[in-house]
Amino acid sequence: MLIEARDISVDLQGVEVLSHVTMGLTEGEIVTILGPNGSGKSTLLRALLGIVPVKSGTVARAPGLQLGYVPQRLAVDASLPMTVRRFLSLPKRVTDADSAAALVRVGLDDIGGRQMAGLSGGQFQRVLLARALLSRPQLLVLDEPTQGLDQPGEAAFYRLIAEVRRDTGAGVLMVSHDLHVVMAASDRVICLNHHICCEGTPRVVSNAPEYRALFGLGTQGALALYQHHHDHSHEGHGHEGHHHGHDHA
């Protein structure tokens, strides 16, 4: 096991966001946490990383685990001048050769001199991935890494993740809200709505009644997610308050 959560519960501002979650990830495995907005996906990642404390349960990491993290959203303030090359050297300085190689690895050449604030969404996410790869991680953690990318961009990004796993043997833990996009890239999917609803291979999960209950019946694709009906019971998890801010008209 690279990283493991045993029966963890997490409260945020007095509301239980995660309830008795047990999950783990081994070397070379790609695991995707799937769930609607406000289901506690990011909180689970943050608990695994130690950013938010757990109320009960334990998080265990392999000793000396090298971790690469790609955050959900990173806004580089306009007041902060930052070239791509400089960004790759944070917080550990890397050599020019290493930074160039990492950029090539994610499919970006000759971009080191560009300002971070001037990159497109797809370029930005790839630079974040390149930075994470520079620490030679045994475990890559990505929080909705394709937010703001179009469908082809998303598919290309997940292909890249699969390549990275193949080349480096790193375990990959991702958060997504769309099973269909991550299906090809994931070995295992964990369906989360404050607790683990179901888990297994993408195919097993997509046919599981819990998954269908969570993400809607009949409809296919991303649209299902935003119209999900809570017709299976989650008593006592206090998730009524989560928002559905997306507008897919």
Partner 1 sequence: MRGITTDMTMLDDFLTRAALAGVGLSLATGPLGSFVVWRKMAYFGDATSHAAILGVALALAFDLPVGLGTLAVALLMAFTVATLAARGWAMDTTLGVLAHSALAIGLVAVSFVHGARTDLSSYLFGDILAVTRSDLGFIWCGSALVLALLIWRWQQLLTATLNADLAFASGVNPDHERLILTLALAVVVAVALKVVGALLIAAMLIIPAAAARALSRTPEAMAALAVLFGVGASLVGLGLSLWQDTPAGPSIVAAAAGIFALSAVFGRVLRH
Residues near 6 by beta carbon (within 8 Å), at least 6 away in sequence: 22, 57, 58, 59, 60
- For 115, which DSSP code? B
Separation CA 230–CA 228 (nearest Å): 7
Closer of 142 and 185 to partner 1 (Cβ):
142
The answer to whether the CB of 174 falls within 8 A of the CB of 68 is no
User: Residue 120 in 3-state DSSP?
Assistant: coil
- Check binding of 59 to partner 1 (CB under 8 A): no
Shortest CB 113 distance to partner 1, Å? 8
Report if residue 61 touches partner 1, rule: CB under 8 A: no
Strands 56-61 and 67-70: unpaired
Residue from 16, 23, 39, 46 in contact with partner 1 (CB under 8 A): 46
Binding mask 124-153 for partner 1 (x = CB under 8 A): -----------x-----x------------
Select the span of 54-62, 63-71, 207-215, 236-244 touching partner 1 (CB under 8 A): 63-71
**Is residue 106 within 8 Å of residue 157, measured between CB atoms?**
no
Candidates 35, 69, 99, 196; binder of partner 1 (CB under 8 A) is: 69
* Least CB distance to partner 1 at residue 23 (A): 18
Judged on CB neighbours under 10 Å (0-12, 13-18, 19+), 110 is exposed
By CB under 8 A, the count of residues binding partner 1 is 25
| Residue 199 structure tokens | 């888990």
Q: Supply the minimum distance, in Å, between the C-beta of residue 74 and partner 1.
A: 5
Residues that bind partner 1 (CB under 8 A): 46, 49-51, 67, 69, 71, 74, 76-77, 79-83, 86-87, 89-93, 115, 135, 141
